[in-house]
């Protein structure tokens, strides 16, 4: 059966790694009809918006999207396409699985952490103002609705993926009302999942323990800001940007995207690493129940990395994106 999936090739290295991932998926025998939707700076010039309505409509229709990075101008220009997409589609859960890949040297082995970050509120709600020249304020919004929804997502994920523990992360000793409410919601949801251990931890203590003993953590659920920071920390634990995958999940659709940006410094040089986008695609295939094919691609990818002969420069090799892609295809 052919599934239609929206593909946003992005810009910078986005089109190169998208094309690599499309080739690998096709070689694995998965029938996908890619609904290709451009977005970003070039589109803004041609169509007046970096995220035209057709992109939103396509994702709403297909319910699934694979998205490569899109450049965001810093300090000026249009608003981040990524943030706008999350808001337009109410993609309330940001999922970042961080698991060691054999062959990539990291300080720790056996890291297998899933970060579940609330994606819609907290200090990212955008309610801030300058009071006068010397004072500014940002409002941290935490609601029962969003906290319960993300806690439910984290526990459902844990239950469906044979996970044992969910840690709710906060700074409720200081932010007693806002983070206190977040914890209250997590604790209340946890009662519906007696098979999963529920624990609470303060975010500062968590960071310290993550860099000393990351193996003791399983699923983490966090409000937006702590989730943003901690998920980059956990990405660092497993080898950094080139291998860090992510997904933004809503009630009706899901957008799978790597953590890294558009890497303009290596654009068009045939040396971008498509691994993070490929891991996103593998997760996406599992999401649409193409589990066997997803596993087949994952096995081939991990074999190539463990073997270590054909790797892109960021992983310490000399292979081009094309050579690395071909090597994965050979290993399917």
User: Which positions touch ligand NAI (CB under 6 A)?
Assistant: 13, 69-72, 82, 241-242, 257, 260-266, 272-273, 276, 314
Contact predicate 224/120, CB 8 Å = yes
Contacts of 311 (CB under 8 A, 6+ apart): 304, 305, 317, 318, 319, 324
**239 vs 242, which CB is nearer to ligand NAI?**
242
Nearest alpha-carbon partner for 231 in 250, 258, 198, 255: 258
Q: Which is nearer to ligand NAI, 210 or 266 (CB)?
A: 266
Q: Write down the catalytic residue from 42, 57, 204, 307.
A: 204
Given 63, 99, 171, 286, which residue is catalytic? 171
CB of 246 to ligand NAI, least distance (A): 8
Q: Which residue lies nearer to ligand NAI by CB, 168 or 230? A: 230
Min dist CB 193 to ligand NAI, Å, is 31
Burial class (CB in 10 A: 0-12, 13-18, 19+), 329: middle
Does residue 23 carry a catalytic annotation? no
Q: Shortest Cβ distance from residue 228 to ligand NAI (Å)?
A: 11
Is 33 assigned a catalytic role? no
Q: Closest distance between ligand NAI and the C-beta of residue 261, in Å?
A: 2
Which position has the token pair 């081939």?
300
The residue behind tokens 């690395």 is 324
CB of 301 to ligand NAI, least distance (A): 14
Q: Determine whether 204 is an active site residue.
A: yes
> CA 114, CA 112: separation in Å to the nearest integer?
7
Q: Which of 92, 124, 153, 198 is catalytic?
A: 124
Q: Are 207 and 233 in contact (CB under 8 A)?
A: yes
Position of minimal CB gap to ligand NAI: 261
Nearer to ligand NAI, 276 or 301 (CB): 276
User: Does 171 qualify as catalytic in the annotation?
Assistant: yes
Cβ-based nearer residue to ligand NAI, 67 or 167: 67
How far apart are the C-alpha atoms of 178 and 191, rounded to whole Å? 21
Phi/psi of residue 8, each to 5°? -105, 105
Q: Please say whether the beta carbons of 60 and 37 come within 8 A.
A: no
Catalytic residue among 157, 228, 271, 324: 228
Cβ at position 178, least distance to ligand NAI in Å: 27
Of 170 and 245, CB closest to ligand NAI: 245
Smallest distance, ligand NAI to C-beta of residue 289, A: 26
Nearer to ligand NAI, 6 or 71 (CB): 71
Residues annotated as catalytic (active site), given as ranges: 124, 171, 204, 228
């Amino acid at each position: 059966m052919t599934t239609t999936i929206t593909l946003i090739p992005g810009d910078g290295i986005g089109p190169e790694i998208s094309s690599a991932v499309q080739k690998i998926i096709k070689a694995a025998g998965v029938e996908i009809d890619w609904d290709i939707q451009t977005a970003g700076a070039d589109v803004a010039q041609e169509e007046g918006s970096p995220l035209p309505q057709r992109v939103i409509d396509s994702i709403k229709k297909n319910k699934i999207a694979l998205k490569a990075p899109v450049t965001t101008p810093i300090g000026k220009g249009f608003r981040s396409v990524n943030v706008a997409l999350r808001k337009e589609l109410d993609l309330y859960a940001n999922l970042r699985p961080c698991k060691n890949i054999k062959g990539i040297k990291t300080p720790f082995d056996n890291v297998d952490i899933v970060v579940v970050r609330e994606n819609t509120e907290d200090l990212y709600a955008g309610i801030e103002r300058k009071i006068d020249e010397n004072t500014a304020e940002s409002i941290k919004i935490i609601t029962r609705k969003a906290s319960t929804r993300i806690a439910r997502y984290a526990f459902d994920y844990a239950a469906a993926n044979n996970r044992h523990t969910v840690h709710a992360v906060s700074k409720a000793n200081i932010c007693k009302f806002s983070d206190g409410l977040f914890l209250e919601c997590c604790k209340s949801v946890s009662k519906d999942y007696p098979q999963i251990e529920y624990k609470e931890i303060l975010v500062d203590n968590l960071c310290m323990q993550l860099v000393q003993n990351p193996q003791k953590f399983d699923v983490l659920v966090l409000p937006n800001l702590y989730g943003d920071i901690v998920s980059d920390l956990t990405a660092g634990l497993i080898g950094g940007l080139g291998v860090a995958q992510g997904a933004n999940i809503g009630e009706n659709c899901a957008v799978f995207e790597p953590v890294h940006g558009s890497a303009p410094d290596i654009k068009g040089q045939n040396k971008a690493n498509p691994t993070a986008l490929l891991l996103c695609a593998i997760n996406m295939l599992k999401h649409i129940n193409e589990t066997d094919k997803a596993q087949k691609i994952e096995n081939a990818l991990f074999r190539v990395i463990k073997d270590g002969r054909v790797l892109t420069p960021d992983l310490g090799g000399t292979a081009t994106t094309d050579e690395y892609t071909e090597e994965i295809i050979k290993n399917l």
